[in-house]
Amino acid sequence: MVTKDPATPSDASLLAPTVDGTVYRWRFGEASFTVDAGLGARITEFCVGAENILTSADVNPINFGSTCWTSPQSQWGWPPPPELDREPYEVVGTPPELEFRSRPAAALGMVIAKRFRVDPERETFSVAYTFENLSQTPRTLAPWEISRHPVGGLTFFPKGDGVEGRSTLRSLDAEGAVWFDYDAGAITAHQKLFAHGAEGWAAHLDIARGMLLIKTFPAIAAAEQAPGEAQLEVYADPEHTYVELEQQGPYRTLEPGEKMDWTVVWRLRRLPAAIAAKAGNRDLLALVRAMI
């Protein structure tokens, strides 16, 4: 199965990264993003100027930046398979056509490959993930991208079937969207929101710095969610150091040797001064919809 986002750039728009050891950095306009091939091809920075919307290892030495796993978590427990999450990825090809490829996860027989693309005209970057079953048996899974952000922000997305009752993070249902407005006083343990969204996007606003991150991805039906998981998940840690914005793709069975593609497009913008950084603000929803 191949799924493409309409904002995925054409080959003509590809930009080559600069390379420093295992670190690859792409720059376009005021923005830049950085991938560390030596650390699971993890996205460690997505910046406007010098300001990074992602957390660093200084905040949490394990859970930082943006990574990709297979869902559901019940298939591997914790920690995530190291081959997919944090061990070095092989880099194949020549710039700008590069592919970052994991070793097979011992417990799953799965390989994740990542291809990063920049569209300078739209000022976006995309991550095209490929999940390949190298085991001898069928594997059923969903793609799962996780990004970690500083606390104190506002996370929101259009409501599909909405928030599940097992969620332990408090959220607001307003203007046809789900809003998680970070409140440290309400977070006393490992807490999470599980929800099904609509329209194929989710956003995170760093209120203190006025930075708006928008991710777009293929929309899925509620019936396509992985068991025990959700299309959209938000996690807050009890130490009040970071939050996670997580989205998942369709739950599919891959036969031995079969592959599944899944693409996520990222945008990072400054929030206009005229738009209030407030949960339930319809102008904020309209701004995001206009951008995508």
Predicted pLDDT at 6:
44
Predicted pLDDT at 13:
57
Q: Where are the alpha helices (DSSP H) in the chain?
A: 82-85, 282-291
Q: Give the CATH number of the domain where residue 17 resides.
A: 2.70.98.10
In a domain, 6, yes or no: no
In a domain, 164, yes or no: yes
CA 271, 275, 277 angle in degrees (round to 5)? 75
In this prediction, the residues of the chain whose per-residue pLDDT falls under 50 are 1-10, 12
In a domain, 5, yes or no: no
Count of structural domains within the chain: 1
In a domain, 2, yes or no: no
Predicted pLDDT at 5:
45
Per-residue tokens: 41: 């091809």
pTM: 0.95
In a domain, 287, yes or no: yes
First to last CA, the chain: 24
In a domain, 3, yes or no: no
Q: Encode pLDDT of 41-99 as tens digits.
A: 999 999 999 999 999 999 999 999 999 999 999 999 999 999 999 999 999 999 889 99
What gap in Å lies between CA 172 and CA 206, rounded to an integer? 18
Predicted pLDDT at 14:
76
Predicted pLDDT at 1:
30
Task: Report whether the peptide linkage leading into residue 72 is cis, meaning its omega lies within 30 degrees of zero.
Answer: yes
